[in-house]
A and B are shown apart, each in its own frame.
Chain A
Amino acid sequence: MTYSERARQLLASSHASEGDTVRLKAGGKDHSGMLMPHHDFSHPDVIVIKLKSGYNIGIMVDDSSELNVEVKAQERYSKAIAPSKVSDLPVISFLGTGGTIASYVDYRTGAVHPALKAEELVATVPELTEICRMRSKVVFSIFSENMDVAHWQELAGAVAEELNSGVEGVIIPHGTDTLGFTSAALSFMLGDVPRPVVLVGAQRSSDRPSSDSYGNLLSAARFCVNANAAGIFVLMHGETSDTCAHVHRGTKVRKMHASRRDAFRSLNAAPVAVLDLDGGLKMASQCHPKNDVKVQADTRMEPNVGLLHFYPGLSAEAVSRFADGLRGLVIAGTGLGHVSRDLVRGLKNLTSQGITVVMTTQCLEGRVNLNVYDTGRDLLSAGVIPGEDMLPETALVKLMYVLGRTDEPDKVRELMLTDLRGEISERREL
């Protein structure tokens, strides 16, 4: 909620702006303090001020309220920051996307400012300068839930450019909600990269002393420098304790908890590496070694692809409406990859119209197998492609990628069944 007309006018008529020291007369009382931003959930007639003690309070204003600015806010200034020291440490490129993985608090107003530029990153996480030289670029600045295919394409281009300039690695601070989608998209669009590209996020915002962002950022930098591994990776906390970070393959990783630090897990695969937060590195699975091949971002994508989570009672009619205008559809089916009999017929209808349908499992863990039960066999007959052990989200991104370069049904089927970027595992160990 924003201010009511009454509150807005009171502020406008006194030319008060956030950070000003004001005197507010309301409800027969005098309040003195610093004008704060309006809280989203505050009453529209409430003006928030910060008292000298540091506490914010909300004051209800009415038509008789008066507000006077006593001291205008001082211009906020950032101290000049010394440029990164010249050193022969490897260069890592930081590509900002808008997550507030590193930020600093203006304790005066309570505002949290993201640290986007390299200098700002250095200032918030100075230990980075002991690991690498940094350069940075802000590609865009949005919440990760607002990302779409066009953002992935833009980011892939930026990553390719950085890699081709010879950096030791690329680190992409990213909001965690859609981190797994972006890592899959970069994996497909960039192919075999010569260096590590590490997406990293934080589950606790960096204005808190308990934030996981510092440990994750430092570990990402250490992984880029110390591991002989090229590829698209995601790095996040390995457990609730601040003990280690896990590095995941970009196509096998999923956010599995709404809020925990260790929300990200590799599914149907082991993590690529484990880093203890003091710097130790243990590789846990095979990776491409670093090399000097140039990379080209192939950003062709078919955005008209959908993902549906099957549930009991989901009607063929609803699915067909959803699929209207789509060229591909990924279903997260039950168990081994099943849907209702009604929907099998519906999906057959879609495939016969030339829409590619890929089946994954909403169990997430384990492999789709359409040979075991009648329903599975019927799905195969209906032309549905079994998505192996791909995550539904990865299958979605892959289908966009595949349909972005071919219309040929057989070719599409072949590519969907081929492991292109580590998205399909042959084996799953106990």
Chain B
Amino acid sequence: MHQLTCGIEIHQQLDTHKLFCSCRSRLVEEEGNRFRRRLRPTQSEMGEIDRAVLAQAERRMHFTYQAPHGVSCLVEADEEPPHDADEEAMQASLIVSAMLNCRVMDEVHFMRKIVIDGSNTSGFQRTALVAVDGHLEVNGRKIGILSLCLEEDAARKVETKDREVTYRLDRLGIPLIEIATAPDMHDPDEVKEVAQRLGSMLRSTRKVKRGLGTIREDLNISVPDGARVEIKGAQDLSLLPTYVRNEMERQRSLIEIRRILRERGAVPVPVVAKDISALLNDSRSKVIRSALSKGGKVFCSALPLFAGTMRSADGKLRLGAELAQHARSRGVAGIFHSDELPAYGITVEEVQAIRKELCLQDGDAFALCADAADRAEPALLAAVARANQALVGVPEETRDPLPDGTSVYSRPLPGAGRMYPETDVKPILIGKDRLEHISQNLPELPEERMARISREYGVNEQQSRQLVKDGFDELFEEVAKDRAMAAVAARTFLSTYPELMKEGVDLGSLTDERVKEAFAALSAGRFAKEALPAVLKELANGSGVEKAVNALGLGSLDQGEAAGIIDMIIKERAEFVREKGEAAVGPLMGVAMKELRGKVDGRQAADLLKERVQAFLKG
């Protein structure tokens, strides 16, 4: 049996107009007009609506939307029916389907998938199944493709404040190609390979957006005896193996916790919470004092036989973290559990008092939560319910990826999505001729491109492979139109970029346009290639090329000026030069480059230095 079963779902934004209107597909800083809406759950059949659920839903589902100009219109505001699906986006999805050897539907029908978290103004996402049953090959292994869908991206969450969520409509309606692979991956590193391969195939259509946030991955992960857990919306490809490893680890530890609890004979805990505010009236814990001083309460629940599973001494068992995440999903800052107490200002005496109050024995655990009463109690109950799931094993759930490679609980796995036809959008008949034409005109496949780049631009094969894999091929080809730039461009994307990233430079804000400008300036001799990393750094901070060059004191020297500087250096060290003769060139090079870096090309500087030293020695 495989130690890992993993499938991925990749969501790639297309660089076309929006899917159902003529707005540009672009994220903007501008907030634009604002409006507010409510969403309510619609019911499927008569009489199914629960009054209490409805009231609760109603209270929560108020949303504010920002509608920036140019990138949103009445369609995004749910004030005008959708237009016909964007032809270019449809074509791109068919091309990708063909590249992945998928079977395309005879007629594509758009559906409405109910989503009431506010991320769609309509309360549903429009999505269509375009193709099924494909495959791709990665490192000689065949990975199945279950489906390819064309759908609209959701609005962008920009703020959450006091249960009120604000979304911006710039992202809503951007076309997305969603590709779901079969659960065919069994190695964390293979997951990244497959994602990279899919990414480079998508990019080869030249119709997709590039840059952070334009491609998002969902990982479906399970280990033997575990459960399907979905990590939704990972953006950094290099972290995918880490997410997978951490999730495998997490599932295994939950399986271990279940074994321990069962061995101890633990049974489901009553989902109740006790108000213990009085016990902690004089507590010095900041969290507790802050809650109580605002009229809040402290609730506590017993977790018999759970001691040591909340957080084991070696840190390997961490059920407490799971409980806390469930509590947080109900709007509190967190919980305290007995494995981590006394701490956080809660004293040994207070812990003992709580244990006494709850009649706990050794081996029992407890969890407590301090906040406004109407928040603390439901949050703690959610945590207790999560504790009970530990007896069953790994719960199926959706988790949010964190930048450190771990993930947190976000919600239970959605059921079979409620879908019904989007009657406002015409079905699209896909003719045989059209598919035929597409398959005869497929874009260059990644490996073809690797070979061609290596051949055409004179970079080595390993470099061209990496350029394609990392998605720099398109930009590389544009920059390297000036063949003199090819070597430096390859080095920049493959070495300089990772170094800059390590330094903490935000490459996400370095647009392709800026990079092209920088290379144009380099090619025009505005500065020397050694200065390129520093220039890119300035550009990433928002400078223009001109400004960056000035700020760095660059600006190329002509031969005469450079010779003057070098002569000065030689003159200052005349004795040393006479003593060493031509051998002085080596030691002097460092001194010279200090003055000339970025202003004169390194090799030119070396030649010039040698020439001036010789001239000096000749007298």
Q: Is the CB of A81 within 8 A of B36?
A: no
Asked if B409 is at the interface (CB within 8 A of a chain A CB), the reply is no
Instruction: Give a binary string over B379-400; 1 marks a CB under 8 Å from any A CB, 0 the rest.
Output: 0000000000000000000000
| Residue of A whose beta carbon sits closest to that of B51 | A126
How far apart are B38's CB and chain A's nearest CB, in angstroms? 5
How far apart are B59's CB and chain A's nearest CB, in angstroms? 11
Q: Is the CB of B114 within 8 A of A60?
A: no
Q: Is the CB of B109 within 8 A of A123?
A: no
Q: Is the CB of A54 within 8 A of B111?
A: yes
**How many Å lie between the Cα of A81 and that of B74 in the bound state?**
38
How far apart are B90's CB and chain A's nearest CB, in angstroms? 14
**How many Å lie between the Cα of A51 and that of B103 in the bound state?**
15
Asked if B482 is at the interface (CB within 8 A of a chain A CB), the reply is no
Q: Is the CB of A41 within 8 A of B427?
A: yes
Q: For chain A, give the interface size range.
A: 35 or more
Q: Is the CB of A55 within 8 A of B49?
A: no
Taking CB atoms and an 8 Å cut-off, the chain B residues in 2-47 that contact chain A are 35-47
| Residue of B whose beta carbon sits closest to that of A46 | B107
How far apart are A34's CB and chain B's nearest CB, in angstroms? 12
Which B residues are CB-close (under 8 A) to A258?
80
Q: Is the CB of A43 within 8 A of B107?
A: yes
Q: Which of B37, B39, B79, B109 contacts A259, CB < 8 Å?
A: B79
Taking CB atoms and an 8 Å cut-off, the chain A residues in 191-248 that contact chain B are 204, 206-211, 214-215, 239-243
Asked if B113 is at the interface (CB within 8 A of a chain A CB), the reply is yes
**How many Å lie between the Cα of A242 and that of B109 in the bound state?**
31
How far apart are B129's CB and chain A's nearest CB, in angstroms? 4
Asked if A39 is at the interface (CB within 8 A of a chain B CB), the reply is yes
Asked if A58 is at the interface (CB within 8 A of a chain B CB), the reply is yes
How far apart are B387's CB and chain A's nearest CB, in angstroms? 33
| Residue of B whose beta carbon sits closest to that of A110 | B420
> Which of B116-124, B198-206, B272-280, B572-580 participates in binding chain A?
B116-124
Which B residues are CB-close (under 8 A) to A81?
46-47
Which A residues are CB-close (under 8 A) to B44?
104-107
Interface centre among A41, A52, A127 (most CB of B within 10 A): A41
**How many Å lie between the Cα of A29 and that of B103 in the bound state?**
10
**How many Å lie between the Cα of A214 and that of B38 in the bound state?**
10
Q: Is the CB of B79 within 8 A of A261?
A: yes
Q: Is the CB of A241 within 8 A of B37?
A: yes
> Which of B368-376, B411-419, B546-554 participates in binding chain A?
B411-419
Q: Is the CB of B46 within 8 A of A120?
A: yes
Which B residues are CB-close (under 8 A) to A52?
416
Which A residues are CB-close (under 8 A) to B49?
123-124, 126
Q: Is the CB of B122 within 8 A of A242?
A: no
| Residue of A whose beta carbon sits closest to that of B116 | A209
Which A residues are CB-close (under 8 A) to B426?
41
**How many Å lie between the Cα of A427 and that of B74 in the bound state?**
34
| Residue of A whose beta carbon sits closest to that of B129 | A55
Q: Is the CB of A59 within 8 A of B107?
A: yes
Known: A126-B51, A260-B79. A58 touches B108 (CB 8 A): yes
How far apart are B103's CB and chain A's nearest CB, in angstroms? 7
Asked if B298 is at the interface (CB within 8 A of a chain A CB), the reply is no
Q: Is the CB of B128 within 8 A of A259?
A: no
Q: Is the CB of A55 within 8 A of B419?
A: yes
**How many Å lie between the Cα of A30 and that of B37 in the bound state?**
44
Q: Is the CB of B107 within 8 A of A42?
A: yes
Which B residues are CB-close (under 8 A) to A409?
none
**How many Å lie between the Cα of A208 and that of B124 in the bound state?**
8
Taking CB atoms and an 8 Å cut-off, the chain B residues in 111-144 that contact chain A are 111-114, 116, 121-124, 127-129
Asked if B269 is at the interface (CB within 8 A of a chain A CB), the reply is no
Instruction: Give a binary string over A58-74; 1 marks a CB under 8 Å from any B CB, 0 the rest.
Output: 11100000000000000
Which B residues are CB-close (under 8 A) to A240?
35, 77, 79
**How many Å lie between the Cα of A27 and that of B112 in the bound state?**
27
Q: Is the CB of B111 within 8 A of A55?
A: yes
Asked if B429 is at the interface (CB within 8 A of a chain A CB), the reply is yes
Asked if B458 is at the interface (CB within 8 A of a chain A CB), the reply is no
Which B residues are CB-close (under 8 A) to A210?
37, 39, 78, 121-123
| Residue of B whose beta carbon sits closest to that of A60 | B106
**How many Å lie between the Cα of A210 and that of B129 in the bound state?**
24
How far apart are A209's CB and chain B's nearest CB, in angstroms? 3
Which B residues are CB-close (under 8 A) to A80?
47
Instruction: Give a binary string over A35-57; 1 marks a CB under 8 Å from any B CB, 0 the rest.
Output: 01001011100101001111111
Q: Is the CB of A54 within 8 A of B417?
A: yes
Known: A78-B47, A259-B74. A208 touches B107 (CB 8 A): no
Q: Is the CB of A204 within 8 A of B78?
A: yes
**How many Å lie between the Cα of A120 and that of B49 in the bound state?**
12
Q: Which of B35, B42, B51, B106 contacts A59, CB < 8 Å?
A: B106
Known: A29-B103, A210-B78, A242-B36. A58 touches B109 (CB 8 A): yes
Q: Is the CB of A54 within 8 A of B416?
A: yes
Which A residues are CB-close (under 8 A) to B81?
259
**How many Å lie between the Cα of A102 and that of B51 in the bound state?**
17
Which A residues are CB-close (under 8 A) to B35?
239-241
Asked if B220 is at the interface (CB within 8 A of a chain A CB), the reply is no
Q: Is the CB of A43 within 8 A of B429?
A: yes
Which A residues are CB-close (under 8 A) to B416?
52-54
Asked if B147 is at the interface (CB within 8 A of a chain A CB), the reply is yes
How far apart are B223's CB and chain A's nearest CB, in angstroms? 25
Which B residues are CB-close (under 8 A) to A26?
106
Q: Is the CB of A55 within 8 A of B420?
A: no
Asked if B54 is at the interface (CB within 8 A of a chain A CB), the reply is yes
How far apart are A43's CB and chain B's nearest CB, in angstroms? 5
How far apart are A342's CB and chain B's nearest CB, in angstroms? 39
**How many Å lie between the Cα of A104 and that of B79 in the bound state?**
21
How far apart are B182's CB and chain A's nearest CB, in angstroms? 14
Known: A53-B129, A123-B46. A39 touches B37 (CB 8 A): no
Q: Which of B37, B62, B80, B109 contacts A56, CB < 8 Å?
A: B109
**How many Å lie between the Cα of A29 and that of B102 in the bound state?**
13
Taking CB atoms and an 8 Å cut-off, the chain A residues in 365-415 that contact chain B are none
Instruction: Give a binary string over A289-318; 1 marks a CB under 8 Å from any B CB, 0 the rest.
Output: 000000000000000000000000000000
How far apart are A114's CB and chain B's nearest CB, in angstroms? 12
**How many Å lie between the Cα of A107 and that of B418 in the bound state?**
7
| Residue of B whose beta carbon sits closest to that of A103 | B42
**How many Å lie between the Cα of A261 and that of B78 in the bound state?**
9
Asked if B105 is at the interface (CB within 8 A of a chain A CB), the reply is yes
Q: Is the CB of B45 within 8 A of A79?
A: yes
Which B residues are CB-close (under 8 A) to A39?
109, 421, 423, 427
Known: A46-B429, A209-B122. A78 touches B45 (CB 8 A): yes
Asked if B48 is at the interface (CB within 8 A of a chain A CB), the reply is yes
How far apart are A2's CB and chain B's nearest CB, in angstroms? 14
How far apart are B105's CB and chain A's nearest CB, in angstroms? 5
Q: Is the CB of B74 within 8 A of A260?
A: yes
Q: Is the CB of A51 within 8 A of B129?
A: yes
Q: Which of A54, A55, A209 contacts B40, CB < 8 Å?
A: A209
Q: Is the CB of B107 within 8 A of A58?
A: yes
Q: Which of A27, A57, A127, A215 contacts B38, CB < 8 Å?
A: A215
Which B residues are CB-close (under 8 A) to A55?
109, 111, 127-129, 149, 419
Which A residues are CB-close (under 8 A) to B47?
78-81, 123
Taking CB atoms and an 8 Å cut-off, the chain B residues in 496-515 that contact chain A are none
Given pairs A60-B107, A210-B78, 20 additional interface contacts (CB within 8 A): A39-B421, A42-B427, A46-B429, A54-B113, A58-B109, A58-B427, A59-B107, A60-B106, A78-B47, A79-B47, A79-B48, A104-B43, A104-B45, A123-B43, A126-B49, A209-B40, A209-B122, A210-B122, A214-B40, A260-B74
A–B pairs, 7, beta carbons within 8 Å = A48-B109, A123-B46, A208-B124, A209-B114, A240-B79, A242-B38, A277-B38
Task: Give 10 closest A-B pairs by Cβ, nearest first.
Answer: A209-B123, A58-B107, A54-B419, A110-B420, A55-B129, A79-B47, A60-B106, A78-B46, A56-B109, A209-B39
